[in-house]
Structure 1
Amino acid sequence: MKRTIAAILSAAMLVTAAAAAEAPSSWAKSAVDTARNAGIVPEQVDQAYTQSITRADFCALAAAVYRTWEKSGNVKSVEKTAVSFSDTKDEDVLLCASLGVVNGVGNGKFAPQQQLTRQQAASMLHRLGNLRKNAKDSVKDRMPHIFADGADIQAWARSDVYWAYNSGVMNGVSGNRFAPNNSYTHEQSIATMLRLYDTKYAEVPSGETAAEYAVVMDDEGGAGARSQMHIENAKGKKLLTDYKDTKGTFENVTMLGVWAGVTMENGTKYDVVNLKTGEKLEDYRILVADGEQAGWLCPMDITKVTYGKDYIALADGTKSTATYDRMTNFKDGKAVVNVDGKTIRAIDTTGKTLWSMNFAFDRSKMEIRDGAGDRFTVWGNNSAAIIAGGKRIASSSGGLYLNQYSDTYIYSENTGYYALYNFKGRKLTKTYQNAFDEVGQNIYSHWLSNTEYEYIRCDADGTNKVLFRVKPILNGGRPGLLATDGAGVYALPTDEHTITCFDRFGATLGTIKIEDTIDIYYRLSFENGCLRVVDSYPNGKTDAVNALYLPTGEQIS
């Protein structure tokens, strides 16, 4: 009898576990129930909720939504295109393909069982959404959002991702990321398709959360006068009004979360104040890095130099109890510190050691350059060396220039001659004369002649291609860094009347035509993902050029 009861209990537990495994996650349950009741969840999708969805099954969802709209007269008049694939006869796939909602993968194939990625889902959702009667697809709906991993979004999906996010159909993931190449689950697909099916279920972003503290410019200075600014909280109240003799007005302010680095007394006095706790560090300044989430609090007394007294600071207002001799700023949660002049180590933002190595470092004879995260270039004694990941990557009596975005460096083979190398010492490009510069993520510029530059894209494995050949317009000489949104989108004047926006893969996103000749007075900068074009010296015209564009080239102001 005992065995019978045990067997029954065991079987019941297995059934319960199986049911729980088949149930949607708690966040998705309501959406799945609502979508199911609306009749837009095909049977093959209404299961295995946390598993990745295939291209064919996502088409089944899309087809169910379209047919529901069509039945209620809620679709535009669309001419369907006859489509066939060699690897599927699925009616839902063929319907979506005939409507332009989805494309094949090439060679007449569809790859129905291939997992769908998040950026592929965004593209399908956008195309399907545009089939709905009275669908919105305005510039506002396609305004950029700067995701932390935005550089990984492909050009063909970028506008779709922005539309899906702004429309409340798809959300980002943690850390303000979109994770464009991640797979998409059944329950995620159902939830987003429900938001598309009926806009009342959409989760439209409410806009950026107001910063807890803001720096307000009172006077930009100029002509020998120093700038003046103050700090306000989210309610607009001026802060630090009783701080020393400043009345809350400073010559410069650097913010790291709740930490405020203030400059006073004609740029000769620096303090750091924790606006949350009131803690003060006199004669200290802030070095902000790592996405403005971590940085250093460093001694800053202009009468002397102090090493070994740097604190790790986090945006939440905490700081390390130990002090360090900083060698690099934080990047990707890593920084390098000098231990005793004979040893260096990389640490994370908690101070935990990530690696250490023997390295004789004498500040009186050596200089750190190109340092960020756990890598840097050190110059001294008529030689240079690159340290990365706890290893000496390269040494030379000539110039070594560590690149920011890739496991590569630029080596001056002879005076005035440069080439690109990877961390294995492999030469990746030809040798170029006069200049070779990293100007973006895996993007480099070099001279072709005294009047022409070439921009190339080159990965650490040596894969490279020519992007543009241009005359140096903006400053009449060496072009310098490209204007960027900080997430993989760049802008470059490619001729006297054209500005080209492109991504880190080298794909063109759009072009902007300027009626006047673009000259050295034109300035390009990004504001919240949009490109600002300013002519600061309009050649006698009463109105200076000052316009804002989407990276696709559409003017929005």
Structure 2
Amino acid sequence: MGKFFRRLTAALLLVGMVFLGLAWGTETVCGAQAGPSSWATVEVERARELGLLPAELLDDYTKPVTRREFSTLVVRLARVWGEEGKTTPLEERGLHPEHYRFTDTGNPDVLLCAALGIVEGIGGGLFAPDAPIKRQEAAKMLWAAADALTLVTVDEYQTSTAFRGYAASEMPHVFEDGVEIRSWARSKAYWTYRWGIMTGVGGNRFDPEGTYTREQSMVTMLRLYHLNGRAQEVRTVPPPEHYPLGAYEYGNVEGWMDSNLERHPVSLLGTVYPTDAPYGIVVDSIGVGSTTMRLVDRAGNTLLTDLYGSGGSFRNIRLHGELVQVDLRSPYGSVVQAVVDMASGRIRTNTTLEGVAGSLKEPPACRIVWKNGTYTLQDSNGRTLSKSYQEALMHVGGDLYAGWVENGRYEFLRCDGTGAARVLRTETAYQGLHVHSREGGGLYALQTGPVSMVVFDAWGDTVGNISFQEPVYLQGFLNGILVVDTQARLERRYHLPAGKQLPF
């Protein structure tokens, strides 16, 4: 009966909107957008038909959704699932929302979400109900809703891969802005990405600190609704991601595993890596002065075959978006290097990517200065931002620096140039400081002993403390997964950043 009256109310509301000239569309009335954006119209309408949308949110669709409003959407989803028999109704769960207290809100939907373990406060007894929800907060809540209300997360770990105990959603995705994802949201961001619920904002960016609009929230609620029992209707699930097996950094690719933990031959996609890049590199041979490689597209077709009579074979290739630098295998007249703009076809001879695009890396925000036998961090104006280090101070990557303390111990600092550097953590490095961050998606890995290593993020939070049964060498990251070699047998092993070994 409640479902009937809810849909009747929504229908009457829609009739009223049409009568007032405010029906679905993108026209604006009195400065507010009357209908959802064109990209969201179909899914928002479907969510409304299913009863997932409360009437008070059916306007200002591009307005940032608040923490309270997002809680209301989650509770509405839970009630619809309960009515359809897809979850235990909230009234039958033995919840006690009255046991939860926030000094700034008594909203029943917020308290229900708190009782379900889907939301938390921001500290000091506050919930901040009217604060815009951030994208990484939304990812955590969406995951928590599925975990609390469905069997999706349980079923996935048992049946969605070829190996029990593993899940595709655990496999990392290297976002361009992954360094900004907090440790408490990282696995949830991977989960929402893998299921196509939140796939980013374009340009392979997740924008974790960005706000989330009402219409974005409505669309993701619909996708989560379908995931519980009708996962095939989540149309935005990205294709499986691929991770190289073997010594990829040395050109010896033995094969690929994908994010479903299925193994593929080396011929898959040529050796395009990463798989969302428009071009990749195939290494045909490797050796001193005899390395040969080819540029390929996503289908594995060799490109630039007519460039200077090279047949598409070069001694080195570097990629930067649509720009490709090739080093010729032998002198072709006076041309030794060339940079090709794949979009326009323009060729620049005897130059490098840096010569065409400028520095490919942004300069660090803080600079290391040596003076009077000590090292410090300073900003561009010469203002000192850190304490002095006598032995060494090194730039690890991004805003992260490491200062030697004693006996192989280093302080890791974050310095963004806007204020004093902050010491995040202190670690002991094994056999010298070798911090791996390239292709880590915003994570840092450090070997701390012959059988131990630590993975942490840009805030110093621990992502994984990993122990091994035998001595290993940490090789670094490949597309977000950790690669180690055993010291005795030189066997290659693969681990998730949190520590779980992958079965290859």
Name the TM-score class by shorter chain: 0.7 to 0.9
SS at match of 2:337: strand
In structure 2, runs of 5+ residues without a counterpart are 1-19, 158-166, 228-232, 242-274
What amino acid is the match of 1:464? Answer: R
Q: 2:330 aligns with which of 265, 268, 276?
A: 265
2:497 matches 1:433 = no
Which residue is 2:295 aligned to? Answer: 231
Task: Indicate the residue corresponding to 1:357 in structure 2.
Answer: none
* SS of the residue 1:217 aligns to: strand
The CA deviation string for residues 20-48 of structure 1, in whole angstroms up to 9 with x for no partner, is 82211111111121111111111222222
Do the aligned partners of residues 279 and 83 (structure 1) sit closer, same or farther apart at CA in structure 2, a change above 3 Å counting? Answer: closer
Contact (CA 8 Å) 1:440, 1:504: kept in 2 or not?
Answer: no
Could you tell me which residue of structure 2 aligns to residue 526 of structure 1? 477
TM-aligned CA distance change 1:202 to 1:104, over 3 Å: farther
| 2:178 aligned partner, one-letter code | G
Q: Distance in 2 between matches of 1:113 and 1:159?
A: 26
- The 5-angstrom pairing of residues 276-355 of structure 1 reads 280-282=347-349, 284-287=350-353, 295-296=354-355, 312=356, 329-331=359-361
Which has the larger Rg? 1
- CA RMSD in angstroms comes to 3.0
Question: How many residue pairs are counted as aligned between the two chains?
Answer: 423
CA drift of 1:455 comes to 2.7
Aligned equivalent of 1:18: 29
Q: 1:92-139: per-residue Cα shift (whole Å, max 9, x none)?
A: 111111001111122222221111111111110010012343313543
Query: Displacement, 1:168?
Result: 0.9
State the shift of 1:452 in Å: 3.3
Q: Which moved more, 1:259-268 or 1:422-431?
A: 259-268
CA displacement 1:138-176 (0-9 Å, x = unmatched): 431132222221111111111111111111111211322
Shift of 1:534: 2.2
Q: Residues of 2 paired with 1:31 and 1:132: CA distance?
A: 22
Which of 47, 69, 79 is 2:59 aligned to? Answer: 47
Distance change (3 Å), C-alpha of 1:42 and 1:264:
same
Q: Higher mean Cα deviation, 460-469 or 122-131?
A: 460-469
Shift in CA distance, 17/250, structure 1 to aligned 2, threshold 3 Å: closer
Residue equivalent to 1:72: 84
Q: Deviations over 1:344-398 (max 9, x none)?
A: xxxxxxxxxxxxxxxxxxxxxxxxxxxx5xxxxxxxxxxxxxxxxxxxxxxxxxx
1:135 maps onto 2:201 in alignment: no
Q: Which moved more, 1:231-240 or 1:33-42?
A: 231-240
Decide which of 100, 118, 140 is 1:123's aligned counterpart. 140
In the TM superposition, what is the alpha-carbon distance from 1:17 to its structure 2 partner?
4.3
1:169 aligns with 2:197: yes
One-letter amino acid matched to 1:530: I
Contact 1:482 1:490 in 2 (8 A): yes
The corresponding residue for 2:122 is 105
Q: How does 1:123-522 map to 2 (within 5 A)?
A: 123-136=140-153, 137-138=156-157, 139-199=167-227, 200-207=233-240, 211-221=277-287, 224=288, 226-241=290-305, 243=307, 246-256=310-320, 257=322, 259-265=324-330, 270-272=336-338, 274=340, 280-282=347-349, 284-287=350-353, 295-296=354-355, 312=356, 329-331=359-361, 404-406=363-365, 408-415=366-373, 417-460=374-417, 461-470=419-428, 472-473=429-430, 476-477=431-432, 479-485=433-439, 487-518=441-472, 522=473
CA distance in 2 between counterparts of 1:452 and 1:17 reads: 60
Query: Are residues 1:549 and 2:495 paired?
Result: yes
Task: Name the counterpart of 2:47.
Answer: 35
Given that 2:436 and 2:476 are in contact with CA atoms closer than 8 Å, whether structure 1 keeps it comes out as no
Deviations 1:244-263 (A, max 9, x none): 56443322222342644132
**What stretches of structure 1 of length at least 5 have no aligned partner?**
1-11, 288-294, 297-311, 314-327, 332-371, 373-403
Report what 1:316 is aligned to.
Answer: none
Encode CA deviations 1:278-325: one digit per residue, 9 max, x unaligned. 65555x1432xxxxxxx53xxxxxxxxxxxxxxx36xxxxxxxxxxxx
Q: For the residues of structure 2 that align with 1:56 and 1:533, how far apart are their CA atoms?
A: 45
Match for 2:327: what amino acid?
V
- The answer to whether the Cα contact below 8 Å between 2:295 and 2:303 also exists between their aligned partners in 1 is yes
Residues 456 and 464 in structure 1, CA contact (< 8 A), matched pair in contact too: yes
CA 1:78–1:445: 2 relative to 1, 3 Å: farther
Q: 1:245 & 1:175 partners in 2: Cα distance? A: 35
CA contact (8 A) 1:485 1:526 kept: yes
**What is the TM-score with the length of structure 1 in the denominator?**
0.69
Cα offset, 1:190, TM superposition: 0.6
CA distance in 2 between counterparts of 1:171 and 1:278 reads 31
Q: Which residue of 2 aligns with 1:378?
A: none
Change in 2 beyond 3 A, CA 1:243/1:488:
closer
Percent identity of equivalent pairs: 35
Report the Cα distance in structure 2 between the residues aligned to 1:528 and 1:481, rounded to whole angstroms.
16
Q: Name the structure, 1 or 2, with higher relative contact order (CA <8 Å, separation 6+).
A: 2
Q: Which structure has greater strand proportion? A: 1
Amino acid at match of 1:409: R
Moved more, 189-198 or 45-54: 45-54
CA distance 1:286–1:45, change in 2 (3 Å): same
Q: Kindly provide the CA deviation profile for residues 442-494 of structure 1, in whole angstroms up to 9, marking residues without a partner as x.
A: 22222223543333334431141241230x32xx34x1453343542111123
Q: Distance in 1 between matches of 2:495 and 2:434?
A: 22
Residues 440, 481 of structure 2: 8 Å contact kept:
no
Q: What SS class does the counterpart of residue 121 from structure 1 fall into?
A: helix
Q: Could you say what secondary structure the match of 1:160 adopts? A: helix
Counterpart of 2:468 in structure 1: which amino acid? I
Seen in structure 2, the aligned counterparts of structure 1 residues 36 and 140 have a Cα distance that, compared at 3 Å, is same
Q: 1:74-95 deviations in whole A, cap 9, x for unaligned?
A: 2269664542222222211111
User: Per-residue CA shift, 1:179-206, capped at 9, x if unaligned?
Assistant: 1111111111111111001132452113
Q: 1:434 to 1:89 in 2, by over 3 A?
A: closer
Tell me if structure 1 keeps the 8 A contact 2:64–2:213: yes
The offset of 1:14, in angstroms, is 10
| Superposition deviation, residue 218 in structure 1 | 1.1
Q: Distance in 1 between matches of 2:347 and 2:55?
A: 62
Matched, 1:62 2:80: no
Q: CA 1:447 to 1:278, structure 2 compared with 1: closer, same or farther past 3 Å?
A: closer
C-alpha distance in 2, partners of 1:80/1:13? 43
Distance 1:48 1:279 in 2: 46
Cα distance in 1 for partners of 2:476, 2:127 equals: 41
